[in-house]
Structure 1
């Protein structure tokens, strides 16, 4: 089992590492630079070449059954599921076969509306302490599920 973190903008890197350490699981923080090396012996910083999907491609090429990816990137979550892995966002919401289709469709619709000028903005609500707690709980549940 490996925990992959789409690390460039992930607000829960330290929390994810702590959960993985408890489960004695290897962690790969994947980014295109700018992060410091994690202090955990279980965690490795992987720096990929700059590019829009370089980190996503690196993760998607390696993830497999029993692995988990922490990402807010819905297309990456879809790729991870298709490779047999699991995926969870930074607010603790797991992606699975039952929800990924609708989540991906909603994401694509919103992107189309923004690009057409029909809708302004983007991004999500501010990240809160409750979101951090929900993430820790969600990741722990996912680890327990995969270990069964």
Structure 2
């Protein structure tokens, strides 16, 4: 398993949780962004800078993701592409995207985009709460523990 992070919009507190998890589990973590990122010095953590542009980071993640990898993103179209490649996608609020609900989420996202483009103010998402952080950490631990148990013993 490799953990990929759509890092341009990922909150710092979520990155900190991911850094600790990568160190604890010795799982590779790559933050993909269109700007330079500072990451802790670690053999398990790195950043990958991509060119500026619409969906460049998302496209790079999709190109590199392998079945079983985990992608951290709040971007629903990216999550759908990850699921299509048999990866896992987790948003910063702790929601694991699922194959059986991703089409519905894409439809709702498109509907909200249409409303906003017609001038209706829909507001943005609420700021990340302490309970969101806890939910993210708990779901991440569940995924990583399941992965650790499934690895063959050396």
- Unaligned runs of 5+ residues in structure 1 are none
- State which of 101, 104, 127 in structure 2 corresponds to 1:102: 104
The reply to whether residue 4 of structure 1 matches residue 4 of structure 2 is: yes
1:75-126 CA distances to partner (integer Å, 9 max, x unpaired)?
0000111111000000110001111111111111101111112x20442001
Asked whether the equivalents of residues 2 and 26 of structure 1 are also in contact (C-alpha less than 8 Å), the reply is: yes
The reply to whether residue 145 of structure 1 matches residue 146 of structure 2 is: yes
- Unaligned runs of 5+ residues in structure 2 are none
Asked whether the equivalents of residues 92 and 134 of structure 1 are also in contact (C-alpha less than 8 Å), the reply is: yes
Count residues with an aligned counterpart. 147
* Matching of residues 33-112 of structure 1 within 5 Å: 33-112=35-114
1:47-69 CA distances to partner (integer Å, 9 max, x unpaired)?
00001111000000010111000
Could you state the TM-score of these two structures normalised by the residue count of structure 2? 0.89
Could you state the TM-score of these two structures normalised by the residue count of structure 1? 0.93
Structure 1 CA distance, aligned partners of 2:123 and 2:80?
A: 20
- 1:14 maps to 16
**Aligned-pair Cα RMSD in Å:** 1.3
